[in-house]
Each structure stands twice: as C-alpha cells, then as structure tokens.
Structure 1
Amino acid sequence: MLGKTPKYHQVNVFQTPLRNFINIEHELVKLAETINWDAVEVEFKAYFAELGRPGVPIRKMVGLMLLKSLYNLSDENTVARWVENPYYQYFTGEFVFQTTPPIDPADFSKFRRRIGEQGAEKLLKLSIQLNAVTRIQKYSNFRNVNTVKSGTIIQ
C-alpha cells in the first residue's frame, strides 16, 4: 500500500521545523524545491498495491535513492548519513529533524525489486537530470554567476 507524505504538519513546541535551522541556500534545499514531487509520486504510484500495510512514502524512498546516486553511497551509508544530516532529511520530505533511521538498508533492494526495470529507468532519468542541475549550480557558484533558470524537474 502506498505510504503518504503529510502535506501539512502540526507545529510542536518541542520540535523545531527543519526550515528554521537549515540554510535555505544549500544545494539540497534548492534541489528539493526544483523537483516536482507530486509528479514523482504519480510516476511511482503504479508500483504500490492498493491494499495492505502502508509502505514508506514515495518521496522518502525516491529521495533516498537519489541521494544514494548523487553522493555515490552504499545502502547502509545512505541511511546512516540521513540520520545525521538535516539536509538529507529535508530533501526526502521530513518536516522536523529525526533521530531514527527512516528505513532498514535492506528496504533499498526491496524497493528496487518493486519498481523493476521500468522504475529503475525513471530513477536513472531523474538522477541524470539532477546531476546536470547540480553541475550547473556548482559551475555558476564557482563563477559567481547565476545561470540556473528556475523550473521543475519531471513535469
């Protein structure tokens, strides 16, 4: 069954929203805002059953797979870094900082099996688009010229 990412979050006195203490100019924050996550969810929704226990939200799983690809990490390292990195958490749709792993590293292989070759091609396409955007951003930051046009990935 499809796990859903909450659209609205109730403010909690004891938890500070990630946006209140992260740098909103960080490349992962900008990248997260560039991706049309609703379109990503529509693309991957077909791989989830209608009944059963809800799975991990699509944004979280796809986001983790993209982080794994962008930073060339193993399954275990991706999960370990997610726990300690608020930017990884923001990228995958978290609202407040989490101190527990979002998934077991074995869930990566389960997700890869679930989406199959067709879903892997969609992930690869998205990953290539993100790599191109991050390369452009790094180059434009190096030259101190903003050449990145606003837009969304996966339209």
Structure 2
Amino acid sequence: MDNEKIFFVIKSKTDEYCFTNVAFMHLDGKSAISKKRMLYRYLYKHNPIKNVLLETAGTVDLDAEIKFQLGEQHFSIDIDKKQIEKIRDLYKALFTIGETCKEINRKRNVLLQSTDNVQKMFNLRELSEQAILNLPEIINQTAQQVEDYANQLKN
C-alpha cells in the first residue's frame, strides 16, 4: 500500500508475520497438505495491541515466544532464541504501541464524555429559570469537585 513500510518480518515453519507502520499481517500456513495459504491483515487503528509478553527460551528450549493480542485475536509467535536482541526490540515496540493505544483510548473517552456533558449543558430549555440563574454557581462547584478528585488521583 502507499506509504506503508515493513519494519519486521518473522518466518516460522508454517506461518509468516509482518509488522508494518500501518498493519500486522499474518500469512497462515496451517495445512501441510495444501499449498493454499490465507493472508490476514489487521490494521492497528482498528485492532489495538495489548497483553504483550516475551517468553524467553530456557536452557533446553531452542526458541523464545512473543505473545500479544491484536484486537480480539491472540498471537503466539515462536522465534529462534539466537534472535533474542531483535525479539526484545520487537517486544519494546509492541509494548509501547499498546500503551499508546491505551492512552489514545483514554483521551477519546474523556473527549466523548466532555462532548456529551457540553451537549447536556446546552439543552437548557428543560431547565427552570431559577436553575438557569444558578448555573454559574453549579459549574464552579462542579469544576472544583473535578479538580479535587483529579488531585486525589495524583496522590
């Protein structure tokens, strides 16, 4: 695709995985009988990364595993333990992307809630005249309560 760059490719015995700046792709090679393979593409903007884990190889194991969830799909990819430095870099990148997705989602929720609250505030036709006259005081009290709560969370 236009402006898409490949950052990391992993090939296993049956599958291939590709991380780009736009999406994660999985070329599924489940069947050893058939040469047909299915290509799955998961756009990051629709499938947030979470639950990133790195399972290092033991003394007997020949591979390490990178595990993560992309949207609702779970992945566990075996990687030769000789590639441990690259695996660590991939782990760090996936973990950082996952944390960034959480923060974006948190900010999105705050924005949606704020928009909803502002919408409700402008629906003044349903309020009595006395309530409208008390709005500045109510807004100041609410702002103070929000600020107090935010300060409590910091501590």
Q: TM-score, normalised by structure 1?
A: 0.31
Q: Which protein is richer in strand relative to its size? A: 2
**Which is higher, the Rg of structure 1 or of structure 2?**
2
Q: Which protein is richer in helix relative to its size? A: 1
Relative contact order, higher structure (CA 8 A, sep 6+):
1
